[in-house]
Amino acid sequence: MMRWSKLGFCATWLAVLTFVMPVAAGAQEVNLYTTREPGLIQPLLDSFTKATGVKVSSIFVRDGLAERVAAEGAKSPADVLMTVDFGNLLDLTDKGLTQPIQSVALEKAVPSNLRGGKGEWFALSLRARVVYASKTLALKSVAYEDLADPRWKGKICIRSGQHPYNTALIAAYIAHHGEAAAETWLRAVKDNLARPATGGDREVARDIMGAICDIGVGNSYYVGLMRGGGGGPQQVKWGQAIDVVLPTFRQGGTHVNLSGASVAKYAPHRAEAVRLLEYLASDEAQKLYAEANFEYPVKAGAPIHPIIAALGP
């Protein structure tokens, strides 16, 4: 198993784009507000409905999930709130938008350090922030701190530092080294950039293949999405053009972040909401997370996709 950094969780909150209106209150249905891309979670929701008969109506909320639920108040139709990044889950809880639940199934499936102390939130999958590297480097190991090394001047690609994936990494760096050291590190990394910090993680792999940069930072599951063909034949080439190194902080630990969910405070279908969370932590769903999304499961013993397992322990 990967050596998870206990301090490597944090992020900013996300915002609003509606695709489907929620179903009305009633039995055997559950309303999901999610910041996760619909294509990533729909196979899981379909599997849940097939297994339980409970219909899931989902709303994709790109930004401002907490703000939206707060504005809806007690009349909110939301039953389950699903998001990425530990900070977002804490934000929902701190703003009083979730409710604690007790579930033996969830407590058995989700380790105590990956859920709220009172059951206010539960992690459902994990992803590591890894280094993509040109195969010409034959890079075998690297620390996050090394990204500030002058040897990489003009050779690093990365997405925006304001993106939640990177704000979480920055928060982890602060936890390890303090704010002053983190600021120095960030300035040095910026000086090492081969191009402006833009695009997504997959574009980092693309630009390494194009010799624009030698190394970059990206999430582990994008490696699976590229190499597995989910993004088309061109992205397969991007994924195959890079080596992937699991970095650590010099004090130890690879930075990971998570996706997770909570039961909304005013959930009109509370029982079904709990049932959905229990299913998402089940053996079947944890296997689907690995197969469809190339994420690490939270449940001990659940399989890891071979593409991700090959990245290392």
- The pLDDT tens digits of the residues spanning 112-165 come to 999 999 999 999 999 999 999 999 999 999 999 999 999 999 999 999 999 989
pLDDT tier at 210, thresholds 50, 70, 90: very high
| Confidence at residue 1, expressed as pLDDT on a 0 to 100 scale | 41
Of 214 and 25, more confident: 214
CB 239 within 8 A of CB 226: yes
Whether pLDDT at 11 is above 50: no
Among residues 287, 276, 301, the alpha carbon closest in space to that of 103 is found at 276
Whether pLDDT at 13 is above 80: no
What is the DSSP-derived secondary structure letter of residue 260? E
pLDDT mean over 89-106: 97
Tell me the C-alpha to C-alpha distance, in Å, between residue 174 and each of 9, 167, 197, 202. Answer: 11, 10, 20, 26
250-273 tens-digit pLDDT: 999 999 999 999 999 999 999 999
Domains located in the chain, CATH noted: 29-126+257-304 (3.40.190.10), 128-245 (3.40.190.10)
26-64 tens-digit pLDDT: 458 999 999 998 888 999 999 999 999 999 999 999 989
Residue 82: in which H helix or E strand, if any? strand 80-84
Q: Evaluate the CA torsion angle 203, 206, 212, 218 in order and state its sign.
A: positive
Say how far apart CA 280 and CA 289 lie, in whole Å. Answer: 9
| Confidence at residue 189, expressed as pLDDT on a 0 to 100 scale | 98
Task: Compute the mean pLDDT over every residue in the chain, rounded to the nearest whole number.
Answer: 91
H and E: helices and strands count for the chain: 12, 10
Whether pLDDT at 185 is above 80: yes
pLDDT mean over 181-205: 98
| Confidence at residue 230, expressed as pLDDT on a 0 to 100 scale | 85
| Confidence at residue 164, expressed as pLDDT on a 0 to 100 scale | 86
Q: Is 209 left (phi over 0), alpha (psi -120 to 50) or beta?
A: alpha
| Confidence at residue 4, expressed as pLDDT on a 0 to 100 scale | 39
CB 130 within 8 A of CB 144: no
Q: Give the rounded percent of residues in the chain with a pLDDT score beyond 90.
A: 84
| Confidence at residue 176, expressed as pLDDT on a 0 to 100 scale | 96
| Confidence at residue 27, expressed as pLDDT on a 0 to 100 scale | 52
